Amino acid sequence: MKRFFRVFKTLLLVYYAYMVEYRAELILWVLSGSLPIILMGVWIQAAQQSNFGLSPTDFARYFLSVFLVRQLTVVWVIWEFEREVVEGKLSLRLLQPLDPAWHHMFSHVSERFARIPFAILLIVLFFLLYPTAIWVPSVGTVLLFVVSIVLAFSLNFLIQYTLALCAFWTERASSLQEFWFLLYLFLSGVIAPLEVFPPVVKTLALFTPFPYLVNFPASLLVGLPTNPAQGFLVMAGWIVGFLALNRWLWRQGLKQYSGMGA
């Protein structure tokens, strides 16, 4: 356990130092996730002219929460892992007494700490422009939101890392992510809250992992109708399922890996 925490601390500090080297790049990445802010303006105008069951203020708070959720759960491991396999750099990782997945995990976690200050500045700017949207969640709500974010990030990371393992069999594993992203965009709640979806579409979406990556944490934070216990159980189920698939693909992929490009 002592060794685990020492490794944990070392990897976290190393990757954090690496991330803060490129602050300008981080700002661009934060801004690239501002799609929810753009969509917020569209839905606010639509809510003023039609009845969607949510007020313009509800839409403003929801899409701000979506922006925050995406900043905290974004992953890119599939492109890094694909490059390591194609270029043979994974061979160096395999020589270390540590699963390569931990390097990617701590890289993502460290990037969160480097990214958050810029995201907070944008949120403050948002409240200056939309003071009527200001709200203060309760302590219980914040705790539930934090738990949902941890689970959402873990699930999102596992899904993309599992897709990344296909790089053992194809040089374009990232193309799978492009297809996955289309489904994610429409079913996760990034485009619109699930509350405005037709009942049939909403029901079908809840059987997939997508709504729990964005809509569920965002709804918890703003107080939209949701079932926390059910949501956490579903997320845990998907995490266990993808973890099992991930470990199986990893073992099969290592048999396939030949260090191409090394």
Helix, strand or coil, per DSSP, at residue 33 = coil
* Tokens (6 digits) for 184: 């994610």
* Interacting residues of 120 by C-beta distance below 8 A, sequence separation 6+: none
Residue 163: inside a domain:
yes
Residue 60: inside a domain:
yes
Residue 262: inside a domain:
no
Q: How many domains does the chain have?
A: 1
Where in the sequence is the domain holding 7, given as residue range(s)? 1-256
Residue 261: inside a domain:
no
By CB neighbour count within 10 A (0-12 exposed, 13-18 middle, 19+ buried), where does 209 fall?
A: buried
Cβ(64)–Cβ(133) below 8 Å: yes
Cβ(185)–Cβ(176) below 8 Å: no
For residue 3, the model assigns a pLDDT of: 67
- Amino acid of residue 198: P
Residue 130: inside a domain:
yes
pTM: 0.89
Going from the first residue of the chain to its last (262 residues), give the mean pLDDT of each consecutive group of 10, the final group possibly shorter.
Answer: 70 69 66 76 80 84 93 92 90 86 88 83 86 89 95 96 93 87 90 89 91 95 91 96 96 82 46
DSSP 138-178: -HHHHHHHHHHHHHHHHHHHHHHHHHHGGGGT-S-THHHHH
* Tokens (6 digits) for 138: 């309760």
For residue 246, the model assigns a pLDDT of: 96
Distance separating alpha carbons of residues 122 and 166, to the nearest angstrom: 36
Distance separating alpha carbons of residues 163 and 173, to the nearest angstrom: 7
Residue 230: inside a domain:
yes
Cβ(44)–Cβ(63) below 8 Å: no
For residue 213, the model assigns a pLDDT of: 96
